[in-house]
A and B are shown apart, each in its own frame.
Chain A
């Protein structure tokens, strides 16, 4: 694998995370518990679409096959996506979405802080813009997880259940393969082993403030680095890609 190929795969992963999460978040549109929250969730979706555009465009350039961000977003099949399993998980109730947002936002806070120093100028620039958005996403998710954890009996139960259900997908955030090691050596990628303890400490503190329990580390489901996903991704894609696939000659 050349450095260029590794960087393409690496950028694609980041782009896919933003893309698939934006799709999930946009499902909340007109479905939130009150309108202010509808606006907030839409903002996060919009941030994620913007980020996926920047990253997939860059990935297309790195690949050198003239694939645009839309071609990468809409014309690949299930096994060719490299987003984390966590972001494709269904929205569930509001607690599931907030816990998912918390897990991802804490990860991204540390990740993009480091990425600002990447020797790849494009990724560093995208990181600087992304970090501002991530800080806001994190504040929002953190406040809500605490409110729900320390709210009513029902909200506490739902939130703890969301944590327990999603925990098995949290390990994959820190998984690294030869793409990572190659790019870490180049000063481009981030050593995720360094972020893992920071992530866990931050999460533990939020849970503590919300009277929530951090689960025991048990089985961690992984697979996305090889393009192996949960069943949910295929359905998400068939909905998202419908028009592009049904009318392959059309411009929209």
Chain B
């Protein structure tokens, strides 16, 4: 029998081998040995990512029945449906780590698992649907493109698929904004107002500055994360400012200016007090979003129970079906 000492040195050897493999750029499959901290980090990150897709359906769903044209409704519905699908890809990938969807949903409901803070802001006007698609999805894509090469293979595979499908999402939002900026004075005002409200929360989506990022070290060593928060945020700002200018929107940041020397934009300080406050639960929609999810889950219980009951009664029959 292994002594504790033997077990420890065995684990150390496995860890060394694991790190060597990840350093060499090889990916990790579900049945491969992995350190517990790696698994935990992934479960946390992937379930948060999945929950974000699902909770993110709410602010957009808020406008589905009020979309101003058949085309607009169709595109918006298709986009929200994709988000549900992406939530599923991610739940499915996270389940390979030995956590069930049921547990992930329980953790969401108890507050143990988080979702992206951005969805704690309200979608107040139709222009918000434009701003969400353009800015929020735009920010998400920058992050997700980077995650396509993450070390955990099921996560990476899900991200590749998600990035491919999301390519139209940002265009959907930008098109709405562009159309409104070409429109009436009221429409332009609505679009700029949405820009003003969504710009800063979108920048917060990349998380704290690198100097204040709590989970980063392990995530980089294990190649879960491949670019820093600030790198990704900068990338987003640099590509988005030009898009805003083209359609005549003003970025609500007086400190924003092109830095010739660095070849990128300098931008003003993000309100981290607001960021931390909303994360702690005191945002405009935290309560509403979670209560919505819990209500739908609870109201759907009898349907899932019925499906289970039917299966149990008819198991034999359904086997004979083929």
CB under 8 Å from chain A, chain B span 70-91: 70-74, 77-78, 80-81, 84-85, 87-88, 91
Q: How far is it, in angstroms, between the C-alpha of A49 and the C-alpha of B301 when the chains are bound?
A: 29
B68 close to A244 (CB less than 8 A): yes
Q: Give the residues in chain A near B303, CB-CB below 8 Å.
A: 33-34, 37, 94, 148, 155
Determine if A151 and B310 form an interchain contact, defined as CB atoms under 8 angstroms apart. yes
Which of chain A's residues have a CB closer than 8 A to the CB of B64? 26-27, 29
Per-position contact with A for B287-315: 1 when CB-CB < 8 Å, else 0?
00000100010011111111101100110
| Among B26-34, B181-189, B271-279, the stretch in contact with A | B181-189
A→B interface (CB under 8 Å) = 19, 22-23, 26-27, 29-39, 42-43, 45-46, 49-50, 52-53, 56, 69-70, 73-74, 93-94, 146-148, 150-152, 154-155, 158, 239-240, 242-244, 247, 249-252
Given contacts A33-B300, A38-B84, A39-B85, 17 further A-B contacts (CB under 8 A): A26-B64, A27-B64, A27-B65, A30-B54, A34-B303, A35-B54, A46-B74, A49-B70, A52-B70, A94-B300, A154-B305, A155-B309, A250-B183, A250-B184, A252-B176, A252-B179, A252-B180
CA distance A53 to B73 in the complex (A): 11
- Flag whether B208 is at the interface (Cβ < 8 A): no
Q: Contact: B80 with A151, CB < 8 Å?
A: no
Q: State which of A36, A45, A56, A244 has its C-beta within 8 Å of the C-beta of B77.
A: A45
Contact of B70 among A27, A29, A53, A249 (CB under 8 A): A53
Partner of A46, one of B67, B68, B78, B307: B78
In the assembled complex, B58 has its CB within 8 A of some CB on chain A: yes
* B266 CB to nearest A CB, Å: 35
Question: Complex: how many Å from CA A182 to CA B87?
Answer: 51
Contact A35 B299 (CB under 8 A): no
Q: Which A residues are CB-close (under 8 A) to B304?
A: 33-34
